[in-house]
Chains A and B, each alone.
Chain A
Amino acid sequence: MAIIVNLDVMMAKRKISSSELAEKIGITNANLSILKTGKGKAIRFSTLEAICQVLDCQPGDILEYRR
């Protein structure tokens, strides 16, 4: 998989738990888990926006492209 979700790193930096983040973004724990484990196929802009807002970061801090 070329695009890697680095949500764990950013969450650790901001010292926020999964359930807290899920609640603040407004998605379920199960969906956040899908996103974190890289099982997700796509991410909505609205979700990405919410994550960036809550974690106070840029999309590039969460998503990474690896060859």
Chain B
Amino acid sequence: MKVTGKKSLSNFIEICLKIVFIIGIIIYLTLPFLLNQYIKYFNPVLNYTAALVMLYTSGIPALVIVWEFIKMFGTLKKDKPFILENVKCLRVVSLCSLIISIIYIIGMFFIVSVFEIIAIAIFIIAWLGTYVLAELLEKAIEYKEENDLTI
């Protein structure tokens, strides 16, 4: 199976991400209603205001992360992933992950749950991981340029 280029795995993932992005926007827009339903049927002790504020503030960086990944997979489709825009995308993803983990850490004071601790751990790892990956990609671009200009 092809990994990059047209009709490939990366193309399939890009389509999935687009669907996730659309679903994400729908959830974001209907958040007060959905949260009400969730509290009513699954978790009656949840602090509604705190949960709403937390989800609203962390929703934007989460959507930005998905959007940046859509952009990056778009460059994979064109088979040109070694560009500086992708480094910028990874840096934005890294920053957004940091913002989300900070929001969740602050949220710990209002809502305590196991899921929150897991989310904090995941986003801290994502923050550091994508930061390193961005640096790595920048180095790779440097090497690729050098290689391209070696005749």
Chain A positions within 8 Å of B, measured between CB atoms, are 27, 31-32, 34-35, 39-44, 47
A-B contact pairs, 9 of them (CB 8 A): A32-B151, A34-B149, A35-B151, A40-B151, A41-B149, A41-B150, A42-B146, A42-B150, A44-B150
Contacts of A27 in B (CB 8 A): 151
Q: How far is the CA of A32 from the CA of B151 in the complex (A)?
A: 8
Q: How far is the CA of A34 from the CA of B149 in the complex (A)?
A: 8
Contacts of B146 in A (CB 8 A): 41-42
B124-147 interface with A by 8 A CB criterion: 146
Contacts of A39 in B (CB 8 A): 149
Chain B interface size range: under 10
Q: How far is the CA of A31 from the CA of B151 in the complex (A)?
A: 6
Contacts of B150 in A (CB 8 A): 40-44
Separation in Å of the A42 CB from the closest CB of chain B?
4
Contacts of B149 in A (CB 8 A): 34, 39-42
Contacts of A42 in B (CB 8 A): 146, 149-151
Q: How far is the CA of A44 from the CA of B149 in the complex (A)?
A: 10
Q: How far is the CA of A43 from the CA of B147 in the complex (A)?
A: 10
Separation in Å of the B101 CB from the closest CB of chain A?
41
Q: Which of A27, A34, A41 has the most CB of B within 10 A?
A: A41
Q: How far is the CA of A27 from the CA of B148 in the complex (A)?
A: 13
